[in-house]
Structure 1
Amino acid sequence: MSAFLSLLSVCLLIRTVASVSAPILRTVWTATADSFNQGNEPQKAIDANLNTFWHSQFNPTADALPNWIIVDMKNTYNIHAVGYLPRQDGSANGRIGGHKIEVSTDGANWNLAATGTYINDDIVKKTTFISRAARYVRITATTEAQQAGLQWTSAAEINVYHEVTYDYISRTAWTVSADSQETVSENSPAQNAIDGNPATLWHTRYNGGTIAPLPHWFQIDAGTQITVEGLSYLPRGAPGNGRIGQYSIQVSNDGNTWTQVATGMWVDTEDEKITLFDATARYFRLNALTEAGNRGQWTTAREINLVSGETEVIPAAPAASNGLWVNTVDFPLVPAAVAMLPNGKVLVWSSFERDNFGGSNGFTQTAIYDPATGESTPRVVTNTNHDMFCPGISIDFNGRIVVSGGSNAAKTSIYDSATDAWTAGPDMNIGRGYQSTVTVGDGRIFNIGGSWSGAVGNKNGEIYSPSANTWTLQSGALVSPMQTQDTKGPYRSDNHGWLFAWKTGTVFQAGPSKGMNWYDTNGAGSVTAAGNRADDGDAMCGNAVMYDAPAGKILTAGGSANYEDDTARSNAYVITLGATKQNPQVTKVPNMAFARGFANGVALPDGTVFVTGGQSFVKPFTDTTAHLTPELFNPATNTWTQLNPMSIPRTYHSTALLLPDATILQGGGGLCGGCGVNHFDAEIFVPPYLLNADGSRKARPVINTVATTVRLGASLGITTNSAVTRFALVRIGSATHTVDTDQRRIPLTPAGSGTSYTVTIPSDPGVAVPGFWFLFALNSAGTPSVAKIVKVTP
């Protein structure tokens, strides 16, 4: 009777769980490839054996890249991710670097899901993208990850993921055991993994200097035979020690004779992992073979469940009227800082590590992303002795990226895309990190705040002259008026200033403090109060975007009173600048639909402002309370519109930039080692102005001819392929920690008709800040052209 009751409880106490990303069972899959070596057939990439792998032909000769492999899942699923595990035999040959991932329902018509460049290591990669229907998945390798011109490709395992809901089987009758558990330094027995409390965990022994070595096992005795479809593993959060990497799962009916039913490698993140298999057994054993982040010999688990009853989640088709997220871009690092280059490529960087920061190590992981190919070229910058994490960024008149402070608080590094070279600039007078810098109308770069790095407090202004290559203190440019009332004091209160170059060498500070200020960068500098931002409070890590520079229009949105552990706000305001050192007009506009901190704002060529990402409760290195739905502010109608959601959270350390084709690159988040929220990628958003109702691309105007340089105040002749109604200049941007002081937009009304037009550039360098700008032509429907890059000169 007791056995019957136990079985009854198992059957009755199954409960449905919220949706999760789960790999599709590969039992019936087949794989084909353009090339394979004898003994390394493509089917080896889907055989659930980590010790075998597909390899393109190398004997007697290598088949040159690109190489491709196609998996046929035999059924159509709504997929949103592909996992790639490089070979696990210790050799790096064939690891995929540059790549694209395409999907198809018929094997003939392919749709791009992702592109990019993978890191050269043997850790599993998971590329996530917007869900789409597919039966076939094709991975094309365009480069080999070792960057040595090698011409082969390999893969140990390929998985495809879809979103599912499923059922947990009741754990009421279970008993569990493990090969090791820590009960001295912390109370972390095996039982904690089935207690229903994700705040507790099972941890293998580490007390007394004796660490139980890998491999480890965790065993479930269900009390009677049960039928299951998979196992769920919830890893610990930060710092991530003991997350399982390589694993195997075995089942048994007597606890002595075991049969392996699954194997694989889990990604080093804190989200729940599902492995599917079909088994009827009493005993289930999860074997941890490696630690996911190579942090040590331990294993941990917050919760372990057996699952059944999987149901695929079918997402609603996104409406093109709300824009479309089209593909993911994989980076070889977490893009915590980005800058647009005059050649149309994007500079991205993290810190001394690709996924972590800390200390002052004197070098930086960088990459150049090419939107034309979707791939990145990595480079470790060592010659400037500068860890450029959490810096100030400004683009000078000649398009050079001037990076100041950060982990190496006094350093300056300069990247020139014309020579593809990094050079060391002079040290600042004050070491800084989390400061803001802005290029002013005379070509110098103003810098203020930044107590995150270097000594805390008194981070008054200084200014960099590119022509003299010197930093000069400005003793009158006091930081104290722009500080917030953060509970952590100056360490947080002078961070991430919202700075805008304006007329006669002034800089307007719009926030994040509720009090606004004018900074005069002439001579020793000065500061003049400019009133409060209406009824807004301090708005740290909110956004400010100059969407109409000649009119002095700035949109501010979101932020929170304190940098972290605080509730964000949805407040939004339009600031209108007029005479320098006078209080601007501040108008409260409708709130965003979502409260956001750590979001990003982008000025679009049609005059709207795109606000994306962030979270409603600001806590660095978390994706909880993240908002996937971006919003678009239209100043002409004074309204916000919710757009289609992205697939990946973008919170702390996320970035966003306008690209030359008028799409948006939104990426990053994390950069925290074992935190579990490192995002080595970006997504591309196509705004509604480029889309027909059916999601196809609108016909776009084309700028046929235009000069590549133009002086302030001069006329610029433009020819197009069709009639247009207006033009817009958008200065190329840079972004880190919600700040982009480089971007601003200038609407231009043309003279002329047909396909020949003339526009006049504003004459004030505080409005049309010299440097490189995107020039867009827009037709009567508001559809922009692909930009021409134009240099505005003094």
Structure 2
Amino acid sequence: MTIFLSLFSVCLFIRAVASVTAPILKAAWTATADSFQTGNEPQKAIDANMNTFWHSQFNPSPDALPNWLIVDMKSTYNINGVAYLPRQDGNANGRVGGHKIEVSLDGTNWKLVATGTYFNDAIVKRTTFVTRPARYVRLTATTEAQGTGLQWTSVAEFNVYHEVEYEYLPRTGWTATADSQETAAENAPVSNAIDGDLTTYWHTKWGGGAAAPLPHWIQIDAGAQVTATGLSYLPRGSPGNGRIGQFSIQVSNDGSTWTQVATGAWIDDEAEKISLFSATARYWRLNAITEAGNRGPWSTAREIRLVRGEIEVVPAAPAASKGLWINTVDFPIVPVAVAMLPNGKVLTWSSYARDTFDGMHGFTQTAIFDPVTGESTQRIVTNTAHDMFCPGISMDFNGRIIVTGGSDAAKTSIYDPATDSWIAAPNMNIARGYQATSTCSDGRIFNIGGSWSGPKGGKNGEIYSPSANTWTLQPGALVSPMLTVDKQDNNGIYRGDNHGWLFSWRSKTVFQAGPSKAMNWYDTTGAGTTTGAGTRGDDADAMCGNAVMYDAVAGKILTAGGSQDYDGDDARSNAYVITLGTPKTNPLVTKVPNMAFARGFANGVALPDGTVFVTGGQSFVKPFTDTTAILIPELFNPATNTWTQLNPMAIPRTYHSTAILLPDATVLQGGGGLCGGCGVNHFDAEIFVPPYLLNTDGTRRTRPVINTVASTVKLGATLSITTNSAVTRFAMVRLGTATHTVDTDQRRIPLTPAGSGTSYTVTIPSDAGVALPGYWFLFALNSAGTPSVSKIIKVTP
């Protein structure tokens, strides 16, 4: 790879305005594997030819999984991702399912950067992670994606990515031709692909009912021979029609005799695509073999450029005092909703499709993620006839996940972790989507709002009894006092009752902290009542902000961010602490320092040490975009009343992202998108290690260990705990359920122990409105504030 380190004359070269994540040139690479079939050697995974592939041995007998492929890039790069292309010959055998990706500087000592499960199809898979230096990259396949027990692995192409700034050749004197162009139904001639205007694009013919069929080609005549190290293709934005998927690149000096220099497949998003090679020619042809999203027989391009050179961008090393993002988790779906299960696994789901939503379909794509193995088990839930996209979610006293409404707006589905099964429950009385629900102190599930789906407006409260398996209307629980004022609500309520910030409290009450600036109490007895609770200080409506109960004993809730309007508005950085007291009285509202970043669509997580982790979001809220994404999370410390900026994540997490506390006191943040060909679908998550688990050099602290504790405890009872070393405090965090910035299940209870040495007792609060029965993480913390791995315990009424 040629790297230019000197300054370039403006008249000779054009530098990229911003850095680009791009593949590393593979010409000098070598590949090895644990196994290969003759004719399908490992080098064929890096030969820049998508029609060849490496295959583990299958004849006379297969070499059983796991199988691994190692690439040696011959030099050290600062890499931030890989792409795996399954075989392209129409045969599914060997597609990678469960996997892990590791990097090394010496080929001996390996560091995990990603794990997970790829979806079973032939489309290119992209895994992004926080930048790390590496010379060697190892892909290990642990399962075959078809799930049939097949014992082999294949890879058509394997690419490694880094962040670079490109130097482009000038396009003076260039002309462009194509096999097809649309100039009647729209002004999209081929010349648009080299005009330097990002608002125009070339489009193949589609008007008049006679779309030109694939494959297509676009050809550049540079006017004279030029030397390039790659081709840059900028796809159109949204909608994504015509984005090029499978491609080949050819060069010629006479426009007649062509030599192929690259093949591959590009991901269906709007980011700039780079194919690297080295060639000298006058004519350059990009052949579009498929459309990236299978939307139709057309091809488009905003801009085509030739690459002259590149400079690798070297990021600063992350400071352990700001936490570390350790690895990416690949999912077979976009995890729009998540629920922590009593067995330590995470239930996730999207909609009827893994990458988009649309209407009512009566089934849902789900996956259960195991933090221990890093892999996910996929399932399509059909028996409840419920598309569970954009629902209300609550965990009942027995750890069952109660999912209400969404796309199929009247439905109720229950996941029972004890039997690993989905159960259909009675329909709600009011069809809802984007509502919020809250498990009450008596075990019933309160539900209010949700005009995104079903009829608009009038979404007053109703309540579900798990014991009776019935829904009951509560006409006195009025939705009108909690409405926000949203510009989309000119023709009736649509957004104003979405995503309520609900907190179960004492005496069967539910406190509504937002997102409206007006706060309210709901009494869930009988027909329900509504009592105003004042306003959230000087805050305005804060749609798609979030609220976290970080100290339930003291009634403390942190609220942060949000915007006046759901779509197309500036987010805010406002933060407040609400202190609950007697039900149906106005709480104390204290304005605390603002976050460093304005955020909408962010997520908040209560950590065991009493701090609150706020992550993701964007400063200008616009669903299905990653523009203005905030990559730097912040940590609020109530003890010092301060915010601390932490190390940035690798992947934007905006609309439809989630975050949840894991049993080992790390945080899983994932998702975003679910919009088909929008280009911002994120089939992954990242795991964050908070500073309380790290030494100054980035190594893990020695953690206390909970040796023994009962698996169940009653409200108000004393719990005996033994540890392996001295600790100073304990904390319980209720298992969370999250979607659309809302997690009404998580709350934290600090516990002061009696005892010394390694034997302690703690007393569980006696009020079910505080220590909400159900499943909780129990953490022990030492004098340094380092938490143990949790024990999951059940608090019973």
Same fold (TM over 0.5): yes
Are residue 46 (structure 1) and residue 46 (structure 2) matched? yes
Distance in 1 between the 2:89 and 2:166 partners?
Answer: 35
Q: How does 1:319-330 map to 2 (within 5 A)?
A: 319-330=319-330
Q: Is the 8 A contact 2:86 2:96 kept in 1?
A: yes
Match of 1:265 in 2: 265
The alpha-carbon deviation at position 239 of structure 1 amounts to: 2.1
- Alignment coverage as a number of residue pairs: 787
Are residue 783 (structure 1) and residue 783 (structure 2) matched? no
Distance in 1 between the 2:11 and 2:53 partners?
Answer: 40
Distance in 2 between the 1:736 and 1:46 partners?
Answer: 39
Q: How does 1:108-147 map to 2 (within 5 A)?
A: 108-147=108-147
Q: Is the 8 A contact 1:245 1:266 kept in 2?
A: yes
Q: How does 1:525-564 map to 2 (within 5 A)?
A: 525-564=528-567
Distance in 2 between the 1:687 and 1:195 partners?
Answer: 47
Determine helix, strand or coil for the equivalent of 1:192: helix
One-letter amino acid matched to 1:101: I
Match of 1:337 in 2: 337
Structure 1: gaps (5+ residues): 1-7
Match of 1:575 in 2: 578
1:644-678 CA deviation, whole Å, 9 max, x = no partner? 00000000000000000000000000000010000
Q: How does 1:347-746 map to 2 (within 5 A)?
A: 347-489=347-489, 490-746=493-749
Distance in 2 between the 1:187 and 1:742 partners?
Answer: 53
1:553-579 CA deviation, whole Å, 9 max, x = no partner? 000000000001000000000000011
Range with bigger deviation, 768-777 or 183-192 = 183-192
One-letter amino acid matched to 2:784: A
The alpha-carbon deviation at position 236 of structure 1 amounts to: 1.4
Distance in 2 between the 1:62 and 1:606 partners?
Answer: 50
Distance in 1 between the 2:601 and 2:150 partners?
Answer: 41
Distance in 2 between the 1:194 and 1:597 partners?
Answer: 37
Q: Is the 8 A contact 2:15 2:165 kept in 1?
A: no
The alpha-carbon deviation at position 10 of structure 1 amounts to: 9.2
One-letter amino acid matched to 2:707: N
One-letter amino acid matched to 1:637: T
Distance in 1 between the 2:345 and 2:9 partners?
Answer: 60
One-letter amino acid matched to 1:160: V
Distance in 2 between the 1:108 and 1:11 partners?
Answer: 47
Identity of aligned residues (%): 80
- Cα RMSD (Å): 1.0
The alpha-carbon deviation at position 168 of structure 1 amounts to: 2.0
Distance in 2 between the 1:187 and 1:491 partners?
Answer: 36
Match of 1:216 in 2: 216
Match of 2:3 in 1: none
Distance in 1 between the 2:159 and 2:201 partners?
Answer: 28
- The two structures have a TM-score, normalised by structure 2, of 0.98
One-letter amino acid matched to 2:196: G
Q: Is the 8 A contact 2:72 2:135 kept in 1?
A: yes
Determine helix, strand or coil for the equivalent of 2:367: strand
Match of 2:175 in 1: 175
Distance in 2 between the 1:552 and 1:358 partners?
Answer: 40
Q: Is the 8 A contact 1:10 1:172 kept in 2?
A: no
Distance in 2 between the 1:57 and 1:759 partners?
Answer: 58
Determine helix, strand or coil for the equivalent of 1:17: coil
Distance in 1 between the 2:208 and 2:250 partners?
Answer: 31
The alpha-carbon deviation at position 294 of structure 1 amounts to: 1.0
One-letter amino acid matched to 2:187: N
One-letter amino acid matched to 2:65: L
1:379-410 CA deviation, whole Å, 9 max, x = no partner? 00000000000000000000000000000000
Are residue 149 (structure 1) and residue 152 (structure 2) matched? no
One-letter amino acid matched to 1:619: K
Distance in 1 between the 2:433 and 2:184 partners?
Answer: 41
Distance in 2 between the 1:261 and 1:524 partners?
Answer: 72
Determine helix, strand or coil for the equivalent of 2:79: strand
The alpha-carbon deviation at position 225 of structure 1 amounts to: 1.6
Distance in 1 between the 2:15 and 2:158 partners?
Answer: 30
Q: Say which of 753, 763, 767 aligns to 1:764.
A: 767
Distance in 1 between the 2:13 and 2:139 partners?
Answer: 42
Determine helix, strand or coil for the equivalent of 1:137: strand
Q: Is the 8 A contact 2:205 2:298 kept in 1?
A: yes
One-letter amino acid matched to 1:732: L
Q: Is the 8 A contact 1:240 1:674 kept in 2?
A: yes
The runs of at least 4 aligned residues of structure 1 exceeding 2 Å deviation read 8-17
The alpha-carbon deviation at position 15 of structure 1 amounts to: 3.0
The alpha-carbon deviation at position 184 of structure 1 amounts to: 1.2
Counterparts in 2 of 1:9 and 1:20: CA distance versus 1, 3 Å: closer
Distance in 2 between the 1:477 and 1:192 partners?
Answer: 58
The alpha-carbon deviation at position 305 of structure 1 amounts to: 1.1
Distance in 2 between the 1:273 and 1:56 partners?
Answer: 30
Distance in 2 between the 1:236 and 1:735 partners?
Answer: 33
Q: Is the 8 A contact 2:630 2:652 kept in 1?
A: yes
Q: Is the 8 A contact 2:13 2:167 kept in 1?
A: no
Distance in 1 between the 2:208 and 2:644 partners?
Answer: 58
Q: Is the 8 A contact 1:242 1:291 kept in 2?
A: yes
Match of 1:197 in 2: 197
Q: Is the 8 A contact 1:9 1:172 kept in 2?
A: no
Match of 1:231 in 2: 231
Q: Is the 8 A contact 1:10 1:170 kept in 2?
A: no
Determine helix, strand or coil for the equivalent of 1:254: coil
Distance in 2 between the 1:149 and 1:16 partners?
Answer: 47
One-letter amino acid matched to 1:781: A
Q: Is the 8 A contact 1:17 1:167 kept in 2?
A: no
- The two structures have a TM-score, normalised by structure 1, of 0.98
The alpha-carbon deviation at position 17 of structure 1 amounts to: 3.2
Q: Is the 8 A contact 1:230 1:308 kept in 2?
A: yes
Determine helix, strand or coil for the equivalent of 1:564: coil
The alpha-carbon deviation at position 98 of structure 1 amounts to: 0.2
The alpha-carbon deviation at position 257 of structure 1 amounts to: 1.4
The alpha-carbon deviation at position 174 of structure 1 amounts to: 1.1
The alpha-carbon deviation at position 258 of structure 1 amounts to: 1.3
Match of 2:5 in 1: none
Distance in 2 between the 1:587 and 1:76 partners?
Answer: 51
1:527-556 CA deviation, whole Å, 9 max, x = no partner? 100001000000000010000001000000
Distance in 1 between the 2:417 and 2:265 partners?
Answer: 39
Are residue 276 (structure 1) and residue 276 (structure 2) matched? yes
The alpha-carbon deviation at position 171 of structure 1 amounts to: 1.6
Distance in 1 between the 2:155 and 2:302 partners?
Answer: 30
Q: Is the 8 A contact 1:97 1:141 kept in 2?
A: yes
One-letter amino acid matched to 1:97: G
The alpha-carbon deviation at position 13 of structure 1 amounts to: 4.7
The alpha-carbon deviation at position 12 of structure 1 amounts to: 2.5
Range with bigger deviation, 568-577 or 237-246 = 237-246
Distance in 1 between the 2:785 and 2:186 partners?
Answer: 62
Q: How does 1:239-258 map to 2 (within 5 A)?
A: 239-258=239-258
Determine helix, strand or coil for the equivalent of 2:17: strand
Distance in 1 between the 2:14 and 2:87 partners?
Answer: 38
Determine helix, strand or coil for the equivalent of 1:18: coil
Match of 1:4 in 2: none
Q: Is the 8 A contact 1:9 1:170 kept in 2?
A: no
Distance in 2 between the 1:500 and 1:305 partners?
Answer: 54
The alpha-carbon deviation at position 9 of structure 1 amounts to: 10
Distance in 1 between the 2:424 and 2:397 partners?
Answer: 18
Match of 1:3 in 2: none
